[in-house]
Amino acid sequence: MAFGVFAGLPRRRRAPTEALTVAGLSLQRKRHTGSDPASTGAVTTNATEDLFLAAITIDSADSVTAASNSFTLEQNFVIGSSNGRETFASADRKGSPSSNSTTFTHRNNTWRAQIAAFRKAP
């Protein structure tokens, strides 16, 4: 079964930065060209027990070498034939009420990054 562009459907154009808040979840997404810092944007939280999950997708073979604000880089891989067509990376951190974003370090390629905060169940 094909979805979106693969099914011939037009892609929905989105703003370069979008924010969404749902009970227990806060999400921020950014898209930029390679020369911009690869920042996820900040999510809103008040708890020190929240879990932050950040991810970046890069439009070509690349290498993500670090994530800022005490995030731990968990995954970094390239997929596609030959030298790769896309790069994916993720990072995570247990929350705090401040510094609720991360910036991924990589080469100069177009990217999309997002971050989500998950609230600990009571």
Count each helix (H run) and each strand (E run) in the chain, helices first. Answer: 0, 9
Residue 67: pLDDT band with limits 50, 70, 90: very high
- What pLDDT does residue 66 have? 93
- What pLDDT does residue 48 have? 81
Beta bridge partners of 58: 87, 111
- What pLDDT does residue 10 have? 43
Domain chopping of the chain, boundaries = 15-118
33 and 22 in contact (C-beta within 8 Å)?
no
- What would the CATH number be for the domain defined by 15-118? 2.60.120
Q: What is the pTM of this model?
A: 0.72
- What pLDDT does residue 27 have? 65
Residues 9-23 have pLDDT tens digits of 444 444 444 444 444
Higher pLDDT, 101 or 49: 101
